[in-house]
Structure 1
Amino acid sequence: MITAADLLDHPRGRRFCFELVNGVQQPDDPDAVASALAAVPLPVLSEDSVVVALESTAESALWWQPPDATDALLSRPELRPALTRIARWAVDSPVVRQLAEPQGGAWTVVFDDDDDQPRRPSTGQALHDWAQQLRDEVAAGSPGVTSGVWWTTPPWPLLQTTRAPFPSAGPLALWAVEDSFGQEHARALSTPIDPAARVFTVDGPDDWAALCRRWPLDVTTTTRRNDWRLATGRQGTWVLPDWSGVAAEYDLVHLTVAGWFRTSGDAVKVDDDRASVVAGWTPDSAYWLTDHELGTGTWAAWSRPGNSGVWRRHD
């Protein structure tokens, strides 16, 4: 469940509210924007409109540069009353509630046109290699002000699944992607859910901070220091979870849709000295930290010509 405060108090939530009424023009003056938002009609939301709004919101996650002009504008106190009206309308919508609490099975998504099932090396080996490469990067350090790896997801090729809150639009991993590459073709496979899996659920910043305190990897000497400073405005020590350590106690880490709204775009306080970010995540992503079967079904083809609009399945 998400609340109006979940949307109003965080960058992605405010952007989602704005994208839901994307017909509003952006005058330069905050008071004029506030007036426009206060007057915009609030119709009954459709599944497609929510899909497009969430996709645009995810695309606004710019972890290698400062927040864009729209995000900066939406954070102004003059816009709070008008955004409160929109946030309350959004969370009262059955469609938004369905987005925030997706039901049904999980899906693996692959963005390519290859008809073959992708090969995946051992999860344990992939985590070991990732941790070693990151420690090498930390030891080498990053000279000057540069950009580099900024995401905090478990590494490829760990299995990632998402659910499909609106079956006709497909799994969230098709369209709610931070820094997407503009793909137009994908395949999705129904992937079994293991009820015995040990799951760490990230439902907000406190959960992410707990992960970072329990399994911290200090990345302050890497390019992340500069990228995350630009994105959040914070300077200081930065950490991310050591996924190779998390895998010793959990099979799966799951970021809920509400967790994404509550964390993406903010610096998450880990303790008095350290902070982290939830960057590069698709809402509802579940990453398998231990080996897990893809499933034996048939890959379903999805596409959207011109990299615009809603993804649709075709057989």
Structure 2
Amino acid sequence: MPGDEVVVDELLAGPRGRRFLAELAEWRLAPEERWSLPAWAGPAMGRHSGDDLPSDLRGACLEQLQQLVDRVDLHALVGVRWPEELLEPLAASVDSARYWQDVDAVDGVLADPRAVEVLRPLAAPVLAAPATTWWRDDVDLGLQQHVDWLWGSPAGRQAPVLTGGRRALRDQREEETVREARERREHPGLARAPWSGAWWSSPSHVDGVVATSPVLRPLRSKEVLPVGLALVEDASDDGRAVLRPLRARPDARVLEIHSARAWCDLVEAHPREVTWSRGLDWQLSTGWAGSWALPDWASVAREWDGVHLSVLGHLAVSGRLLTTTVTGEQRGALAPGPARTLLAGWSPGQTFWLTDALEAAGDAQRWRRDEQWRGDLGWSLAEEGGPHRRGRSPGRPGQWSSG
């Protein structure tokens, strides 16, 4: 495929992409071998951040990571056909994201240029595998699902409001402008603070702006898996959700984010400075102490109905410090130079719909996680008045429940 080397470099440049490759190396081992070997990241586990890891322990991690990668059968990796076989390491990478505090110590090790070269042999084979073809997919307008996490509520919330997004985004922009000015007055320097603010860059928490996820159709089965249940940033322990199928208008205009360049282009076309509302958190997670910019979502909604982040886009872009051409504020102790940007709080395959482009496409369904521990991807479709249908967790017998 043209541009394969560019895609490999994008995957290795992304914190989530590197974490996926490291998790993948472990999951490609036979179970008995996996449990008999020491965890490559053992010296980094329990450390507060990458800065908290002495050089000798960092070196030990890198050495053990190299030994792990050397055990991976690259030929077999190219031949992985079934998308669900890679969901476990993918979910582990997604869940470990954190944009509101210091870099995770494991991610800190993986950001080392030596770790990037250790992981490089895995990148091209996994991207060539049939199991990852869907990572590059554009949004499926005909079948999307909205996930409503129950959070202890037996009934869940009402169906999402599918109208009024444009007006709500204009209202949000006014609120954000007020917040930005207040933070600028109250916290004139981007010093460390014992609290977290608005760390996400997606148009979340806005009535009328709906987030949807795709449905994965495993190649060996007619049944489906709701991606929004399996791939969740900073996943909670709540294992119950209501899924509502939605579809978009056939003429809906959706901007695709498959690369860092696509995200930066969006920010530069619709810039909004967020230095004071985001800087306290993002300085911790990236080290950048200068200006920040994000898309002005009210402006974006005049051009696009939705913005879709592919799985590959998530792995390559989420959590990655990116430089824009936006001129940020030069003031006080801020580092000089153009504004940086960060994509955060956006799960793989997720689309945010900014306008009235959606309609219901079926009945709501209740799902529950089969196992009590958070790492398991097995889910059941809980039918009203009937038994729970078993879902499938990768590496375990059975199939995914239809969703």
TM-score (norm 2): 0.71
SS of the residue corresponding to residue 187 of structure 1 reads strand
**In the alignment, residue 114 of structure 1 is paired with which amino acid?**
A
Aligned counterparts of 1:258 and 1:195: Cα–Cα separation in 2: 24
Deviation of 1:103 (Å)? 7.7
Partner of 1:163: 214
Partner of 1:33: 65
Partner of 1:221: 276
- Kindly tell me the number of residue pairs found equivalent between the two proteins: 314
Higher deviation after alignment, 275-284 or 186-195: 186-195
Give the structure with higher Rg (CA): 2
Partner of 1:148: 197
Could you tell me whether the CA contact under 8 Å between 2:248 and 2:358 is conserved in 1? no
Could you tell me whether the CA contact under 8 Å between 1:152 and 1:278 is conserved in 2? yes
Aligned counterparts of 1:129 and 1:180: Cα–Cα separation in 2: 29
Deviation of 1:128 (Å)? 2.5
Aligned counterparts of 2:121 and 2:131: Cα–Cα separation in 1: 17
Q: How does 1:150-229 map to 2 (within 5 A)?
A: 150-156=199-205, 157=207, 158-166=209-217, 170-222=225-277, 224-229=278-283
Partner of 1:87: 123
Equivalent position to 2:342, from 277, 280, 299: 277
Per the alignment, do residues 185 and 294 of structure 1 end up closer, same or farther by CA in structure 2, a change over 3 Å counting? farther
Deviation of 1:64 (Å)? 1.1
Could you tell me whether the CA contact under 8 Å between 1:176 and 1:282 is conserved in 2? yes
Partner of 2:364: 299
Higher deviation after alignment, 261-270 or 304-313: 304-313
Deviation of 1:115 (Å)? 5.8
Q: How does 1:122-137 map to 2 (within 5 A)?
A: 122-137=164-179
Deviation of 1:119 (Å)? 4.5
Could you tell me whether the CA contact under 8 Å between 1:63 and 1:279 is conserved in 2? yes
Aligned counterparts of 2:204 and 2:225: Cα–Cα separation in 1: 23
Deviation of 1:289 (Å)? 0.8
Could you tell me whether the CA contact under 8 Å between 2:210 and 2:353 is conserved in 1? yes
Per the alignment, do residues 64 and 103 of structure 1 end up closer, same or farther by CA in structure 2, a change over 3 Å counting? closer
1:203-246 alpha-carbon deviations (Å, 9 max, x no partner): 21222112212222111122x10211111122211011111111
Partner of 2:47: none
Partner of 2:94: 58
Aligned counterparts of 1:79 and 1:237: Cα–Cα separation in 2: 29
SS of the residue corresponding to residue 273 of structure 1 reads strand
Aligned counterparts of 2:297 and 2:254: Cα–Cα separation in 1: 13
Aligned counterparts of 1:236 and 1:225: Cα–Cα separation in 2: 8
Per the alignment, do residues 282 and 198 of structure 1 end up closer, same or farther by CA in structure 2, a change over 3 Å counting? same
Per the alignment, do residues 174 and 48 of structure 1 end up closer, same or farther by CA in structure 2, a change over 3 Å counting? same
Taking only aligned residues, the RMSD between alpha carbons, in angstroms, comes to 2.4
Aligned counterparts of 2:267 and 2:117: Cα–Cα separation in 1: 35
Partner of 2:145: 107
1:81-130 alpha-carbon deviations (Å, 9 max, x no partner): 43122223322321122344378522221112426642426223321232
Per the alignment, do residues 11 and 169 of structure 1 end up closer, same or farther by CA in structure 2, a change over 3 Å counting? farther
Could you tell me whether the CA contact under 8 Å between 1:172 and 1:282 is conserved in 2? no
Aligned counterparts of 2:225 and 2:271: Cα–Cα separation in 1: 35
**In the alignment, residue 160 of structure 1 is paired with which amino acid?**
A
Deviation of 1:184 (Å)? 0.4
Partner of 2:328: none
Deviation of 1:31 (Å)? 2.1
Equivalent position to 2:25, from 6, 21, 26: 21
**In the alignment, residue 130 of structure 2 is paired with which amino acid?**
P
Structure 2, unmatched stretches of 5+, are 27-33, 43-56, 326-336, 384-403
Aligned counterparts of 1:101 and 1:249: Cα–Cα separation in 2: 21
Structure 1, unmatched stretches of 5+, are none
Could you tell me whether the CA contact under 8 Å between 2:212 and 2:352 is conserved in 1? yes
Correspondence 1:5 to 2:9: yes
Deviation of 1:68 (Å)? 1.2
SS of the residue corresponding to residue 287 of structure 1 reads strand
Structure 1 runs, 4 residues or longer, greater than 6 Å off: none
Q: More relative contact order in 1 or in 2 (CA 8 Å, sep 6+)?
A: 1
Partner of 2:397: none
